[in-house]
Structure 1
């Protein structure tokens, strides 16, 4: 009986490892889910002139209609538990002169549910030949989900109205609405050297909020930034952002899946731009260390640098700071220097490194693997992850060999190339 039990155990264990090895890496889908609703050449699009102005405060339910084109003037606040509903196909143009910005305040909601064939578009109000990153502010959502700052409440450093600029709380299930099949183009105005708006800022946003099929292009700071909160996010696209594609801080508890960051050297900040920047706080002195530290579970992610000729302007794909949990699995990373950079404070002990897992990955054309800012730790880090049976494959392939159609000029498809057995898990 003992022998049979042992054999059965090994069969189950072998099956588990075989299934793990066969999981498809990178973004997935029976069809190319990036078709129809995305736009990788927004400068070529003509949009109708605005027929309606949105300004000031929205303190009761309001619906924006597809038949109109809206201009977002100044900082527009949705307050008083009101709901802003936006029809599929609606175009909202952010005003350049007044830094048009949409703020969904604590308790209010946005229902922006576009369609694959009729997305909602937030874009610049400039003529197509004049558009550039940072033409307008972006979208800010303030919720009631937990953050780890002292007192459990905080404000964003964006010069917002003090009485309306607050987020955080105890409701991880908080619902700020729906953002689905939307595009955000040319947002991310830099207010000063230390104050930079993002394409989409999610502050203390709870897990009942729906966030999927969102493309952010040409943001002048981060595409997506989460300040605390508890979220499930999927089918996100960050394209040619200047700073980070996905930035997480203040104890954010995030599951992100089936998402892609496409970087370009001439849309990167020389100070350091990454696909993922993950930390638990800016300053430990303002943090309640009894609260949850940032924890990110990222699966079926594609991170790709479209750089050619080795300009060297795009660096590591992932940067992780101390006291942070980060799990990356079933993903493809191509063209970075190095693959991962760990803050020197993380150290090289097993207890620290066990918070960071990297499993079932293709790391392609990266100059370096999992490195530390403290180079003396690199050998220990390499040995630790080599001993974890992580299933990391280091390759030297062209993007055309790795992905289905990595051509931004056409209709890109960054799913794994079916002829690449490493990527598709066969």
Structure 2
């Protein structure tokens, strides 16, 4: 009878382990990256038949697949206008004028591609490189935690004085609906302006929860891939591919839910001073009201990894650092996720104390840490031992692995890559020891 009970217990443990592993990292019955993504966009010829898009768009406008559009300078959608974009439409950002597309508060963008016919924003250069053009900026009315009015004017290279008012966001007027975006690729954007501010492939500032965003791939951004400033943002099946800046930069009181999303960094392209996730309530505490609104992030089924040819060497050379940075006065949850191929997985701000009050706001659970020299650290080195013990507690269901990405993920050999976990190989690596009585 004891043997029978032991066998049943073992089966339950293995079954629970399999279910937990299947839920980690990006998930889906099929590879949701197939068809609409592109890993080598520099090789794609998008053709010609150019139509110019410039200035202010103040009435409802539709972009059609039959044309290829050249975005010149700073283009603003204003006056509650709706910019519609047909599936399969290609828009090229002009490099000479550091082109940007801005959806102002009250206006909206309807850019719904399909898996077989994605919408593409890319560079107009023949030899494309990171930061060829500005990017897409969506502004809403949902407030941030900053004092006073908020503007993004510093992100533009040479903004006309008459357009300055279009860069205001976050008036706090209530819920905001900035449109629908799905199956959209943004390539080689993120050029910084003459100011020191880092640009983004896609910036969402003060955007409301009714705005629907899914299946967006930002590749080779010269700045951050996704920037979220204030607002309430829900994102699903997002992909940041080899940005120079942060993959997901979230700050100033943003309430952000990211589900089933991916970030792939390259030590040869991505700057080591940036991370997969950078979560802050403020850069300078004096400029915000932290009693009003703190940044809150819930990230589930994330896959954060480094694409390295020699991981150990790149870590020693300082090319690879942490995957996630969590600032003070933030609420952060990472659940059912994977962090693979970093020096340290998570770094906490030195002002986050190692006690129940502070760490209850930072939840890291049911997560695989693979090929990381350590899991959770503080900038205050004396706290590191306590942090490792805290998050290695079995109640968090976090696991550690040391295996290659080729074994860890489903398929990284083809142009249509599959970053879901390779369940069978991971189960084989889990050794369950049994002690039985005869």
What TM-score does the superposition give when structure 1 sets the normalisation length?
A: 0.91
The match for 2:191 is 189
Structure 1: 5+ residue stretches without partners: 1-13
Instruction: Give the drift of 1:306.
Output: 0.8
The match for 1:399 is 405
Superposition pairs of residues 5-404 of structure 1, within 5 angstroms: 21=20, 24-127=23-126, 130-151=127-148, 153-156=149-152, 157-159=154-156, 160=159, 161-170=163-172, 173-192=175-194, 194-270=196-272, 272-309=273-310, 310-312=313-315, 313-387=319-393, 389-404=395-410
Instruction: Give the drift of 1:388.
Output: 6.5
The alignment covers a number of residue pairs equal to 407
Instruction: Give the drift of 1:331.
Output: 0.6
- Assess, with a 3 A threshold, how the Cα gap between structure 1 residues 424 and 222 changes in structure 2: closer, same or farther: farther
- How far, CA to CA, are the matches of 2:360 and 2:332 in structure 1? 10
- How far, CA to CA, are the matches of 2:427 and 2:30 in structure 1? 20
Instruction: Give the drift of 1:21.
Output: 3.9
- Assess, with a 3 A threshold, how the Cα gap between structure 1 residues 248 and 231 changes in structure 2: closer, same or farther: same
Structure 2: 5+ residue stretches without partners: 1-11, 433-438
Superposed CA RMSD in Å reads 2.1
Secondary structure of the structure 2 residue equivalent to 1:269: coil
Instruction: Give the drift of 1:146.
Output: 2.3
Contact 1:402 1:423 (8 Å CA) reproduced: no
The match for 1:412 is 417
- How far, CA to CA, are the matches of 1:424 and 1:363 in structure 2? 14
What TM-score does the superposition give when structure 2 sets the normalisation length?
A: 0.89
Contact 2:38 2:416 (8 Å CA) reproduced: no
- Assess, with a 3 A threshold, how the Cα gap between structure 1 residues 363 and 171 changes in structure 2: closer, same or farther: farther
Contact 1:172 1:229 (8 Å CA) reproduced: no
Deviations 1:99-120 (A, max 9, x none): 1100000110010011111000
- How far, CA to CA, are the matches of 1:102 and 1:304 in structure 2? 30
- Assess, with a 3 A threshold, how the Cα gap between structure 1 residues 387 and 245 changes in structure 2: closer, same or farther: same
- Assess, with a 3 A threshold, how the Cα gap between structure 1 residues 221 and 50 changes in structure 2: closer, same or farther: farther
- Assess, with a 3 A threshold, how the Cα gap between structure 1 residues 238 and 25 changes in structure 2: closer, same or farther: same
Deviations 1:373-411 (A, max 9, x none): 11111112123223471111111011121110023x532
The match for 1:11 is none
Secondary structure of the structure 1 residue equivalent to 2:308: coil
